[in-house]
Amino acid sequence: MPVHGLPPYDPQNIFARILRGEIPCKKVFEDDFAFAFHDINPQAPTHVLVVPKGAYCSFADFSATASEVEIAGFIRAVGKIAKDLGLEAAGYRLLANMGEHSGQEVPHFHVHLFAGRPLGRMIPG
């Protein structure tokens, strides 16, 4: 049964293939819960993608069906990555697209981590 009206998880999506090591990436971090790498088309001086290790197609899927341990592990990893990259002093932005209106392109839940310059308005107006 699809979660929240989305198609079922597609194990051939590009981030699943990166997680399996089938396609290269510029890796930033890995632990039991999360994997992080540089976005191929960066929108800021630092643009890192953080994905959970588990097969979740979106934030809706992850927040509803991942275990508490996976959710806590993932969120802690996002914070650690930002800290270890030295982004806390100047600040950073997290963003997760979910579904059609957000423009989500890759159907494996991911958080964008942007930093390295003033990031402007949250949503271009």
Catalytic residue list: 110
The Cα 11–Cα 18 span in angstroms is 11
Q: For binding to ligand AMP (CB under 6 A), which residues are involved? A: 14, 23, 25, 37, 39-41, 49, 97, 103-106
CB of 24 to ligand AMP, least distance (A): 8
CB of 79 to ligand AMP, least distance (A): 20
CB of 36 to ligand AMP, least distance (A): 11
In terms of Cβ atoms closer than 10 Å to its own Cβ (0-12, 13-18, 19+), residue 21 is exposed
Task: Find residue 95's DSSP bridge partners.
Answer: 112
The Cβ of residue 27 has, within 10 Å, a number of other Cβ atoms equal to 11
Phi, psi angle pair for 65, to nearest 5°? -120, -15
